[in-house]
Chain A
Amino acid sequence: MKQNLLPALRLTLVLLVVCCLIYPVLVWAGAQLAPAAGQGVTVRHRGRVVGYANVGQKFDQPRYFNSRPSAVDYNAAGSAGSNKGPTNPAYLAEVHTRVEAFLQQNPTVAPGQVPAELVTASGSGLDPHLSPAGAYAQVERVARLRHLPVARVRALVAAHVEEPLIVFFGPAKVNVLALNVALDELSGQ
């Protein structure tokens, strides 16, 4: 023990320098060449920062494409999922309420066709995306409230669908913030 203690202490000090100073500085230096210099890529609209490209934000006003339910109400300084189990009665009641509310706001969507992500909370509570179906299901509501032709809003969604790079490279998705920024521009707001 005694003959090990001194080398252990000295080795720890040396490795603190290697792992907690040299290594992070190397990565930080690499990050200076990366988008936004490693400070997180932000989105600007009408001269102000309105969010981070990768971090989901709350859209619950009906005139926007709504983002997913969030267990932390899109608190970007405290991510978490709902951690509700699949048979939890309180959880199922909550989903039921969300389904009813969605059908009421989007009367053109048939019961049984409510996209799952619009009534379930994401893992982080900050999911920036919807599936294409999740965005298309809201087109008629958004068009009606903004007095825009349905076809134009539908085309806007289509332009924002990010297909996977290669066929098997993950699901197709829509970035809700990018879509809503484009929507505001389309309706001149």
Chain B
Amino acid sequence: MMNNELLSLGGIYLVTLALALPLGAYLARVFRGEKSLLDFMRPVENGIFRLAGIDVRREMSWQQHLLALLTINLVWFGLAMLVLSTQGSLPLNPDQNPSMAPDLAFNTAISFLVNCNLQHYSGESGLSYLAQLVVITFLQFVSAATGIAAAVVLFNALQTRTTDKLGNFYDYFVKSLTRLLLPGSVLVALVLVFSGTPMTMLGKQPLVTLQGDSVAVSRGPVAAMVAIKELGTNGGGFYGANSAHPLENPTFLTNAVENTALCVIPVALVFALGFYLRRPRLAYMIFGVMTVGFAALLAPAVYYELHGNPALTKLGVDQALGALEGKEIRFGAAASAYWSITNTVISCGSVNSMHDSFMPLSGLTQLLGMMTNAFYGGCGVGLLNFFAYLIIAVFIAGLLVGRTPELLGKKIEAREMKIAVLVTLLHPLLILAGTALTAHLYAADPAANAGWLANPGYHGFSEMLYEFTSAAANNGSGFEGLGDNTPWWNISTGVVLLLARFLPIIGPVAIAGLLARKKYVPESAGTLPADTATFGVMVLAVIVIIAALAFFPALALGPLAEHFSLY
């Protein structure tokens, strides 16, 4: 039984890898502008550019890229705010759900704009079908494409030449949609509808159950939304229970498909970098570091979930199937643990089981996945985060051996280092300052804020830490016991989401742009090679030290303390 479950995890991972390698090669061809499989989409793309009045032959500098990116994101924010605050009076609202309050609309709009899904509402009662499509589904597409486009700017900038011109943002962005996200989503959505996921504009259906209770079953255009939610690593559930909901994720097969869909682009982009730059060894080094990190976080979660909650064993519960609080029978404990770790190392944040009820050390590895935020990572942005770590590792390794720090033939100097350090330190700053401030507010008036925490003691602290970690990682999963639809949580996490999305895009793209402008120095015996296992160990050490040093005290107060009180 247990071995079968582990086998199935290995199977899902191997399928992911088998898809990601060719997909990486394909993406490299697409973004180099070479012949590729979906070239028949070109007329569609040209039509889109003509209607939008965009000339994609105009190459952009890194500043122009960022300006284009930020401007269009601002437009989307306006659109999302508008629809969310008025959805109650707009069409396609069969369940007559109300418009959102301003602070909730702000949090929701920001959340999906930044490819996250904090979701301080519940889909069944919080959104109209129009908002599910025009705000949620739409932002899930375009925010993922934004991240991929930013990663492609990085690819372009790391080539061995000296230039200002790094391609056209709209070109990368639209191709991410037409060549990858849209066709991929159609495939995933078809698997879902044939497995029983609804795709209808009909509202909820009232019925009387077999034993005679009256219920209403929520439906909606679920399949279309769930496909891009996973493929675009956004993670926002159609229903409140996300992919634990039996209509959103009906079978073990859909679970495997959804889980693979959310992993495949982040992994493929790593390989795409190698193909694009024709430096496959660099991609293998990055992939290796990410995979070691991922496996190290996965193992404890699977172990503890399969072994169940010792406190329940004492009560006479048979936990042969593992810890089942917050989990669904059709997935089982192992596949739930695997899902939770893939969704936290990758900033997808969808859930097929409730993280709040996981064993303390599983919760800890979920937190660490988001704290490092670079083991695969979200669509495009995972690679950008990793790039910042890479710059720091090059610099430290260079100092250790007394060589000029260089990456791919470009000198790393003070300016690049400053940006990389600021970006990597921003993450712990947002998480720890946010948690500390909130814990202070809670402690100052526990009675007034009693609704925040669903669990007392160490676990309650973990709930607050998790929410800020999730916001700063643009992840979106939660310890959902947290009563987070309050002005404080909506606004504070909204601000964290914004900073943690755009600064880690701006920083690495700026570094890449600065490097692209520098003179190329051919690699020589004096160069520290970046594509070796030794250097991979160095990068891993940098990530571990930054994450462990910054977060250890907070983790000790929450999940570690809870673990030692339980075992």
User: Nearest residue in B to A169 (C-beta to C-beta)?
Assistant: B252
Can you list 26 contacts pairing A with B, beta carbon distance less than 8 Å? A8-B75, A19-B177, A19-B182, A24-B133, A27-B227, A49-B207, A57-B213, A76-B215, A77-B125, A83-B454, A85-B455, A85-B459, A86-B359, A86-B566, A87-B311, A87-B459, A88-B456, A91-B325, A99-B316, A114-B316, A117-B324, A120-B326, A127-B330, A133-B320, A170-B330, A171-B330
Pick the contact of A129 from B311, B325, B329 — CB < 8 Å?
Answer: B329
User: Nearest residue in B to A48 (C-beta to C-beta)?
Assistant: B208
Q: Once bound together, how far apart are the Cα atoms of A77 and B239, in whole Å? A: 9
- Interface flags for A96-130 (1: CB within 8 Å of B; 0: not) read 10010001000000011111110111111111111
Least CB distance from B302 to A in Å reads 14
The answer to whether the Cβ of B286 comes within 8 Å of any Cβ in the partner chain is no
Q: Once bound together, how far apart are the Cα atoms of A102 and B524, in whole Å? A: 73
- Interface flags for A1-24 (1: CB within 8 Å of B; 0: not) read 100111111111111101110011
In the complex, which residues 39-84 of chain A have their Cβ closer than 8 Å to any Cβ of chain B?
Answer: 39-42, 45, 48-61, 64, 68, 74-84
Least CB distance from B216 to A in Å reads 5
In the complex, which residues 341-380 of chain B have their Cβ closer than 8 Å to any Cβ of chain A?
Answer: 351-354, 356-360
Least CB distance from B117 to A in Å reads 15
With contacts A11-B72, A52-B217, A171-B321 known, is A82 near B190, CB below 8 A?
no
Chain B residues within CB distance 8 Å of chain A: 1, 4-5, 7-8, 11, 48, 51-54, 67-68, 71-72, 74-76, 79, 95, 122, 124-125, 133-134, 137-138, 141-142, 170, 174, 177, 182, 185-186, 189-190, 193-194, 196-200, 202, 204-205, 207-211, 213, 215-219, 221, 223-224, 227, 239-241, 244-247, 250-253, 255, 308-309, 311-312, 315-332, 335-336, 351-354, 356-360, 454-459, 462, 479-481, 562, 565-566
Q: Once bound together, how far apart are the Cα atoms of A4 and B51, in whole Å? A: 15
Q: Once bound together, how far apart are the Cα atoms of A80 and B150, in whole Å? A: 35
Q: Once bound together, how far apart are the Cα atoms of A16 and B68, in whole Å? A: 18
Q: Once bound together, how far apart are the Cα atoms of A150 and B501, in whole Å? A: 60
Least CB distance from A179 to B in Å reads 10
Please give, as numbers and ranges, the residues of chain B lying within 8 Å of A129 by CB-CB distance: 328-330
Q: Once bound together, how far apart are the Cα atoms of A16 and B131, in whole Å? A: 12
Please give, as numbers and ranges, the residues of chain B lying within 8 Å of A91 by CB-CB distance: 325, 455
Ordered nearest first, which 7 A-B pairs have the shortest CB separation? A170-B252, A123-B244, A83-B481, A81-B354, A85-B459, A79-B241, A38-B199
Contact call B52/A10, Cβ cutoff below 8 A: yes
